A = this chain, B = another copy of it.
């Protein structure tokens, strides 16, 4: 296949050179601080060929590099091969940050092109601080992306829909009233929102503008008396227009956000400098007072109400039933595989998995691109099989499947690692150490005020004792029929000042990756809730929401304590009880076997 990347990079260099610019920075970003971005903003991918969901491309006259984190190192190596683009492994010792690299690579007096709508205020400030120290300036007026990207996809004009209150649990008036109370406490007159899942949550709307995330491309402004939603008029239907009219939400064109910002003056404007794009910020900062704090919508959205929690629980049942069916199909197919009736590959499994999920009522799509990684591919943390990499599944090693669904009432995200064929002792030990960490976190009880950082080591402790670790966080927030990754909470070695609160949902996903061999990750979603078994009501614990057995064939029972075994047995009992009403008799038998109680006396331990 002809690699067109070097040509695109050459065109970019020429374009910059003609305008007296020495480099440009292309982040993976849109004006909405999105993790998943609409194809209209896939510029980094267009110019680099790297398809991962995070990374920064810098094109300079003499050098071109792509920065990405450990999740994507292996993938980037493969995809950048032959492009002439150097890979910078973010987080590896001695690897300079992009701004640092620019300051070392460019001469003093150089000018770097950066599109201000693609950088948060904070990020742009960091570049400015670093580069200005080396007399390098940033040029924000040159839209090299629009100029050079042939066939750039337009923004979607697809209509969106109202998210029914029977799923949302709270109408937009109630939500707005709560947000305005918080604004009042902070003396903010206007709250500016650019983050799409915050806008979707606040207005109870959902759409299809971004892959996997049911959000709508829009901006919003909450004033003390008015509420404005900036969205392309083509996306509106009679129904949504009526909805906004009834809720007294003013509609403006998406492109009208800039004009609105330019007219603001002498207001106290709340925006989050970590999220708001620099272009928008520049339009308000000079004539208004800025209050930069995390958006009040962020925290409100993360604490689920009981309707949302019910919807999430229902989503887990449907998802678990679909996955049980998939697992049964897969095991049957693997057994036939010896007779060569079926060839199973990572891509075919992903497709089949989608089919089983799609059979479920209220299924609205996947919540992210499924990761189906056989053996060594499982060690690539965010692996996404392509036709070129697609592996045939053989009866050996591990199969890691990380996938999720969007239902109209909730979002799922689950990882299971399946044992194919006979495992080695080390493989079973590895699996069991990951499982022990998962169980330790699932069983954690902790006082109000505890941050995820404090709990993270519970999931790692057993791996650490073997000198092992994993390079990603242990838990991320999950939205309700919204983003599969959401803040503000997390469980990670990185400090995050946000305390876990009752109603928050986070993932519990320790892992272990043996490069070139296999990967293991075990992920359930858990709900933070008050510990009702304790007199003191200021202690929290987790309720595991996700429903699917762990593969018992991969467990080394000699490494488990009695309480860990009991946890597995209890969990498997709940899984069977909750899923079996949705399964056929054959499927129930299969699930019965997969959730069979491990007899405390029958294992190797005693």
Residues of A at under 8 Å CB distance from B?
Answer: 443-447, 450-451, 453-458, 461, 464-467, 469, 493, 495, 497, 531, 534-536, 539, 561
Contacts and interface: CB of A to CB of B under 8 A. Distances in A.
Given A453-B454, A495-B453, A444 B469 contact: no
Nearest to A453: B453
A326 B444 CA distance: 40
13 contacts: A444-B457, A444-B461, A450-B493, A453-B454, A454-B457, A457-B457, A458-B458, A464-B539, A466-B534, A467-B536, A467-B539, A495-B495, A495-B497
Given A495-B495, A561-B561, A457 B467 contact: no
A544 to B, nearest CB: 16
Contact of A447 (B453, B454, B469): B469
Nearest to A534: B467
Task: List the 5 shortest-distance A-B pairs measured between CB atoms, nearest first.
Answer: A467-B534, A467-B536, A445-B465, A495-B495, A445-B464
Given A467-B539, A535-B467, A493 B445 contact: no
Contacts of A539: 464, 467
A441 to B, nearest CB: 10
Contacts of A457: 444, 446, 450, 454-455, 457-458
Contacts of A467: 445, 531, 534-536, 539
Contacts of A493: 450-451, 454
A111 to B, nearest CB: 27
A540 to B, nearest CB: 9
A398 B451 CA distance: 33
Contacts of A450: 457, 493
A474 to B, nearest CB: 11
Contacts of A469: 447
A128 to B, nearest CB: 21
A535 B534 CA distance: 43
A501 to B, nearest CB: 16
Contacts of A465: 443, 445
Given A445-B464, A458-B461, 18 more contacts: A443-B465, A444-B457, A444-B464, A445-B461, A445-B465, A446-B464, A447-B469, A451-B495, A453-B453, A453-B454, A454-B454, A454-B456, A454-B457, A454-B493, A455-B457, A464-B539, A466-B534, A467-B536
A374 B465 CA distance: 38
A27 B534 CA distance: 39
| Residue of A453, A457, A466, A561 contacting most chain B CB atoms (<10 Å) | A457
Nearest to A455: B457
Contacts of A445: 461, 464-465, 467
Contacts of A536: 467
A491 to B, nearest CB: 11
A444 B461 CA distance: 7
Nearest to A462: B445
Interface-central residue, A453, A455, A464, A469, by most chain B CB under 10 Å: A464
A455 B460 CA distance: 10
